[in-house]
């Protein structure tokens, strides 16, 4: 009898870790885009202090990626996710307020096939750093249309999940910049029961662009830590593997 029950008990254990227990709680994905130095200096130590795993959508051309490669390798070893954010971070210059998009990096002029190859290069580069075969994508600027078509739709087979392509009725997103922790907490608490995942998409933490202060960032983590019975904080890839939203 004992050996017959064993597989059942084991499968229950697996479910309680990754299934039922997780799904009852609202999933929270903390992500940090663009490989900014303030993420290494401020966000990472705070995440480690509260033992939360997060996702870093890196841009390989960013100086903080090129010159601090060992730290990104270490971040992956700690269980955080290194996510694909393309290689060059091309965005559409034709959209409003896109004066900052340089002519050589204009998504409007980049063929879909070039973008697909770029995404593959980024996946290979990240694999060389963390050894992982599975990857998620955050499209730069959430733009989708390249020259000749939608490159995000064309790239779906390369990724476990793509941020912005989830079921909108079940996923909410906030990209905090120059706001305090309470505004983010209010956003989380105001979500209806139909929402299963809140993406908190950050850039600078205590520096760099679109930033929140290190103090407010820590307040947010402290709140999530104090409410672990309500929230399942994990990497975007871990959450999407379970919830498949």
Binding stretches for Zn ion (CB under 5 A): 33-34, 140
Contact 27, 239 (CB under 8 A): yes
Nearest to 71 by CA among 139, 131, 130: 130
Q: For the CB of residue 32, give the shortest distance to Zn ion in the complex, in Å.
A: 10
Pairing of strands 149-150, 145-146: antiparallel
Looking at the Cβ atoms of 33 and 81, the one nearer to Zn ion is 33
> What is residue 80's DSSP assignment?
P
- The alpha carbon dihedral of 123, 128, 130, 133 has a sign of positive
Looking at the Cβ atoms of 59 and 243, the one nearer to Zn ion is 59
Looking at the Cβ atoms of 28 and 137, the one nearer to Zn ion is 137
Q: For the CB of residue 166, give the shortest distance to Zn ion in the complex, in Å.
A: 18
Rg value, the chain, Cα: 19
Looking at the Cβ atoms of 118 and 219, the one nearer to Zn ion is 118
Contact 56, 225 (CB under 8 A): no
Residue nearest to Zn ion (CB): 33
């Amino acid at each position: 009898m004992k050996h017959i029950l064993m597989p059942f008990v084991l499968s229950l254990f697996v479910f309680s870790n990754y299934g039922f227990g997780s799904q009852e709680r609202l999933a929270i994905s903390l992500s940090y885009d663009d490989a900014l130095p303030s993420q290494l200096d401020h966000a990472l130590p705070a995440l480690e202090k509260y033992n939360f795993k997060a996702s870093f959508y890196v841009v390989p051309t960013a100086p903080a990626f090129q010159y601090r490669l060992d730290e990104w390798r270490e971040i992956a070893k700690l269980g955080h996710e290194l996510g694909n954010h393309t290689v060059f971070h091309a965005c559409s210059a034709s959209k409003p307020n896109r004066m900052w998009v340089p002519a050589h990096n204009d998504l409007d002029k980049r063929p879909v096939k070039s973008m697909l190859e770029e995404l593959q290069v980024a996946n290979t580069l990240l694999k060389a750093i963390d050894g992982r075969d599975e990857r998620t994508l955050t499209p730069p600027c959430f733009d989708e249309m390249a020259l000749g078509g939608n490159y995000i739709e064309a790239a779906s087979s390369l990724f476990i999940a793509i941020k912005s392509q989830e079921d909108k009725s079940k996923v909410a997103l906030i990209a905090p910049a120059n706001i305090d922790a309470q505004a983010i907490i209010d956003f989380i608490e105001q979500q209806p029961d139909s929402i299963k995942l809140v993406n908190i998409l950050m850039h600078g933490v205590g520096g760099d662009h679109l930033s929140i202060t290190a103090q407010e960032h820590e307040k947010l983590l402290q709140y999530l830590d104090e409410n672990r019975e309500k929230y399942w904080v994990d990497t975007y890839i871990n959450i999407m593997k379970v919830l498949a939203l």
